[in-house]
Amino acid sequence: MLQRWQPPIARCLKHFIRRSFDGIQVLQNMEQCYPVPRNMTMKLTNEQISARVLYFGLFNGVGPTRTQSKMIVRNRAYSFTANISVEGCTTSTMQGQYCNQTIELLSCARSGNSSGNGSVSGFFNQSMVLCRNNFETSCHGDGEMKIYSLEILRITESLTISVQNLRLRPLDSIGNSSRIYLMCFARYGAMPLATLHDYSGDLNQSPLVIRFPKVGQWYISILALHLAKEIGGALSNVSKVCYSLEVQELECPLGKAGPNCSSERYMLQTVLRKYSTPFESYYLPDGGDVISDALNFHLEPLLSNYSVGGLDTWTYFLLDVPRGAAGGNLHVRLMSDRKMNYEIYARNGGLPSLINWDYYYVNKTSSSGDSVFFVLYNSSDEKVDFYILYVKEGIWNIALRHLNSTGDISDGQTTMSISLERCPKRCSYHGSCKSALDTSGLTLYSFCACDRNHGGFDCSIEIVSHQGHIWQSIALIASNAAAVFPAFWALRQKAFAEWVVYTVSGISSGLYHACDVGTWCVLSFGVLQFMDFWLSFMAVVSTFIYLTTIDEVFKRAIHTAVAILTALMAITKATRSSNIILVMGIGAFGLLLGWLIEFSTKYRSLSCSMGLCLNRLERWPSREWLQNLVNTVMKRFRWGFVLAGFIALAMAAISWNLESSQSYWIWHSVWHVAIYSSSFFFLCSKVITINSGNRTPTDANYQLTQQDSLSQGA
């Protein structure tokens, strides 16, 4: 749809963005919003994205922008079409961009418990899951890659990837296995490549250890290099390398997590809010010390009392964001009566740490503030308050790192609150929380519809003060008083039809803008908008028709036709910018039609004889006739007022082009004054000649007199 301006549309992809710059494909694994062009195509292969839920969002008017007007909002509406197709491989064991890469599933089994120092007083048992390839050995040549897959079902402390029984083929080879690179690439949720992976290492040198891996599907690729490397001046005859792949998952017992399973872990229970929208809930520890009414819980009784080296302790809280709640926001708060020594780390699908986290908070100056999905509110030394916007589905792990744990943690009290809310801060009580379903109908997402004075995603930004809003409302409403000038002149010239149009147009425009700015609506917004645009169109066209000197019967006929046509324009798409050109074209056509009627009335070909008509046609292009015609046109208008009318019309056009969501009130007020002033100047430009008998220029006798004078001049 064509518009005067390009609507500020942005698309936010919460997982992966793929751009194309001069043929170079750039993949970014991050949260990002970027402007959407008129046409775009995005292609992501299964080597680039993981098997998960992806959300594509289109946002119109991103940022703390005040619309100021429903007309601006409706005029910025846009239409789009989207076609999303998903192509997958027929079997899970064949993957890759062309489904030609074999995936070998590792077979896993629990191998018993291992013990480690867990505290000063005892040990914590750790369970181990051992995974191996189906064949005892796997062999592949130089540059050949093999891919394996396994699924982690529980929260895991570590994932260790190693090879056993490394051998060279053929058996009588002269190569040295220690000089071979056996590269391992691991990636969560998607196939790893040498250029795109999460973790990597040379298994021939040491095992690859992944701390706190995420729950879900992991892919491991093994690549052998330098098999035929020259050794001691002789070329190695190694053709293949064989090995046994072994993957160990180290799990902590229930209620424990962290290094050596020494920290406390709590699975929070979901408590639904009463009388609220779906998925709004609190998260509380099972049997914890819950504060009545506030649905908070005391933190100190739940903290871990064990520290590694006496430096700090970690406490983990796990919560489940159900399917369909991804359009909500996770709200985390900590409040204490003393200075807090906590750092907060949050991660989806796995335990967070100092190096693995999705969002974090250390202090007011160090947090995930650069993320568009992390918002920090009014935090201090005694209070922490932040939101994770449009939180991902699945298990979330929130870890508290307690610094200086050698002190007495019983001093003071700290309360914690974790909740899933639809709109942040209840839209700051400056708007209403709206909810809608995505196109699949499976996810409920929410957003804030702010009032006139506030903006931002949570309506927390005051765009204009209450006093400023009053002055802006007065400007938009009172500027319609400029309609008094053309209405007064039309009444003075006894042009009653034009007087009614200008008067009613100014009144309806004032009532419409009073409703538009939220002051008072005498009728529904749609009716007031129709009346405003329709009568404004009529006022413009009436100005053109007034400049003619045709009989009142013809004028009213033209007015009737124009009223029907402009009403159809106003009731369909009144706010289209192209309507301005159409109205000006209709007015110019009405003026030309009036002059043609006037011309045909003055020079009635049927009233003259054939010889007289031929005589006039022969003398038609004479210089005297053209000079008299120019003199008649020059005497018909006051050209000073015509120039003033065009200047005012130019001011109206400039103010229309300068209108934006921020400056709408000032430039639209100038538009009101300029457009009504231009009508007033054009009305004043018409010369009114009164004949004897107080007859107007539209009188038939006056027209005949002018016809005779022009005939004599010709």
Higher local confidence (pLDDT), 283 or 32: 283
Please say whether the beta carbons of 110 and 194 come within 8 A: no
Beta bridge partners of 600: none
Please say whether the beta carbons of 259 and 242 come within 8 A: no
Give me 309's structure tokens. Answer: 């080296």
pLDDT for residue 285 is more than 60: yes
pLDDT for residue 626 is more than 80: no
pLDDT for residue 195 is more than 50: yes
Average pLDDT over the chain, rounded to an integer:
77
Summarised one tens digit per residue, pLDDT across range 664-698 is 888 889 989 999 998 898 888 887 654 434 444 44
Q: What are the CA-CA distances from residue 540 to residues 57, 492, 593, 645 (Å)?
A: 42, 19, 16, 12
Please say whether the beta carbons of 446 and 327 come within 8 A: yes
Q: What is the pLDDT of residue 26?
A: 34
Q: What is the pLDDT of residue 602?
A: 66
Q: What are the CA-CA distances from residue 188 to residues 13, 78, 149, 513, 538 (Å)?
A: 19, 38, 10, 56, 65
Give me 76's structure tokens. Answer: 């910025």
pLDDT for residue 200 is more than 90: yes
Q: What is the pLDDT of residue 22?
A: 30
Q: What is the pLDDT of residue 77?
A: 54
Above pLDDT 90, what percent of the chain?
A: 18
CATH T-level assignment (fold) for domain 94-112+126-228+239-251 = Jelly Rolls (2.60.120)
May I ask the CATH architecture of the domain 257-422?
A: Sandwich (2.60)
Give me 655's structure tokens. Answer: 């103010």
| Strand 138-141 versus strand 342-348 pairing type | unpaired
Top-ranked range on mean pLDDT: pick from 118-127, 179-188, 203-212, 301-310: 203-212
Please say whether the beta carbons of 370 and 463 come within 8 A: no
pLDDT for residue 25 is more than 50: no
**Percentages helix, strand, coil for the chain, rounded to the nearest 5?**
30, 30, 40
Please say whether the beta carbons of 146 and 121 come within 8 A: no
Above pLDDT 70, what percent of the chain?
A: 75
Please say whether the beta carbons of 132 and 181 come within 8 A: no
For 268-279, b where at least 16 C-beta lie within 10 A, e where not — what string? beeeebeeeeeb
Beta bridge partners of 161: 208, 247
Q: What is the pLDDT of residue 446?
A: 87
pLDDT for residue 123 is more than 90: no
Summarised one tens digit per residue, pLDDT across range 499-549 is 999 999 999 999 988 888 878 888 888 888 889 888 888 888 888 888 888
Please say whether the beta carbons of 140 and 131 come within 8 A: no
pTM for the predicted model, two decimal places: 0.69
Q: Which of 69-73, 236-240, 434-438, 558-562 shows the lowest mean pLDDT across its residues?
A: 69-73
DSSP 614-637: HHHHHTTT-HHHHHHHHHHHHHHB
Q: What is the pLDDT of residue 32?
A: 56
From 565, 629, 634, select the one nearest 602 (Cα to Cα): 629
Please say whether the beta carbons of 200 and 219 come within 8 A: no
At 21, the pLDDT band (50, 70, 90 cuts) reads very low
Tokens 């009463």 sit at which residue?
274
Please say whether the beta carbons of 501 and 535 come within 8 A: yes
At 148, the pLDDT band (50, 70, 90 cuts) reads very high
| Strand 16-21 versus strand 94-95 pairing type | unpaired
Q: What are the CA-CA distances from residue 368 to residues 121, 288, 330, 362, 619 (Å)?
A: 38, 29, 15, 9, 87
Q: What is the largest CA-CA distance in the chain?
A: 131
Amino acid code (one letter) for 576:
R
pLDDT for residue 713 is more than 50: no
DSSP 82-113: --------SSTTEESTTS-EEEEEPEEEEEEE
At 92, the pLDDT band (50, 70, 90 cuts) reads confident
